[in-house]
Structure 1
Amino acid sequence: MTDNALLPASVDLTAVVAAEPDPLLFATVSGAHLYGFPSRDSDVDLRGVHLLPAEALVGLREPEETRSRMWFEDGVEMDLVTHDLRKFVRLMLRRNGYVLEQLLSPLVVHTGAAHRELAALAPGVITRHHAHHYRGFAGTQWRLYAKNRELKPLLYTFRVLLTGIHLMRTGEIQADLPTLYDEVGLGPDYLPGLIEVKAAAEHGPAPVDPGRAEADIEALHIRLDEAQAASKLPDAPTAYDALHDFVVRARLGN
Structure 2
Amino acid sequence: MDIRADRLRDAGLPDADLSPVLAEQGHPLVFATVSGAHLYGFPSRDSDVDLRGVHLLPLEDLIGLREGEETRTVTGPQDGVEMDLVTHDLRKFVRMMLRRNGYVLEQLLSPLVVRTTDAHAELVALAPGVLTRNHAHHYRGFAVTQWRLFEKQHALKPLLYTLRVLLTGIHLMRSGEIEAHLPTLLGHVTAPGYTGELIAAKAEAERGPLRGLVDLARVRADVEALHAELAAAQDGSHLPESPSPEAYDALHALVVRARTAA
Counterpart-to-counterpart distance in 1, 2:117 and 2:216? 45
**Per-residue deviation at 1:198?**
0.3
Q: Does structure 2 retain, via aligned residues, the 8 Å contact 1:43–1:79?
A: yes
Counterpart-to-counterpart distance in 2, 1:8 and 1:49? 23
Counterpart-to-counterpart distance in 1, 2:122 and 2:20? 24
The worse-fitting range, judged by mean Cα deviation, of 236-245 and 17-26 is: 17-26
Aligned match for 2:200, one of 185, 196, 202: 196
Q: Is residue 231 of structure 1 aligned with residue 225 of structure 2?
A: no
Counterpart-to-counterpart distance in 1, 2:149 and 2:189? 26
Identity of aligned residues (%): 69
Counterpart-to-counterpart distance in 2, 1:139 and 1:204? 20
1:53-92 aligned within 5 A? 53-92=58-97
Who is 1:114 aligned against? 119
Who is 1:44 aligned against? 49
Counterpart-to-counterpart distance in 1, 2:30 and 2:49? 19
Counterpart-to-counterpart distance in 2, 1:204 and 1:117? 39
**Per-residue deviation at 1:242?**
1.0
Q: Is residue 138 of structure 1 aligned with residue 146 of structure 2?
A: no
Who is 2:180 aligned against? 175
Amino acid at match of 1:129: N
**Per-residue deviation at 1:107?**
0.2
Q: Is residue 243 of structure 1 aligned with residue 247 of structure 2?
A: no
**Per-residue deviation at 1:168?**
0.4
Q: Is residue 213 of structure 1 aligned with residue 213 of structure 2?
A: no
Q: Deviations over 1:112-155 (max 9, x none)?
A: 11100111001111100000000000000000001111110000
The number of residues matched between the two structures is: 252
Who is 1:29 aligned against? 34
Q: Does structure 1 retain, via aligned residues, the 8 Å contact 2:25–2:72?
A: no
Moved over 4 A (4+): none
**Per-residue deviation at 1:75?**
2.2
Counterpart-to-counterpart distance in 1, 2:198 and 2:150? 14
Root-mean-square deviation over aligned CA pairs: 1.1
Counterpart-to-counterpart distance in 1, 2:218 and 2:196? 16
SS at match of 1:68: strand
**Per-residue deviation at 1:35?**
0.2
Q: With the length of structure 2 as denominator, give the TM-score of the two structures.
A: 0.94
Q: Which runs of 5+ in 2 are unaligned?
A: none
Amino acid at match of 1:251: R
Amino acid at match of 1:199: A
Counterpart-to-counterpart distance in 1, 2:180 and 2:190? 13
SS at match of 1:200: coil
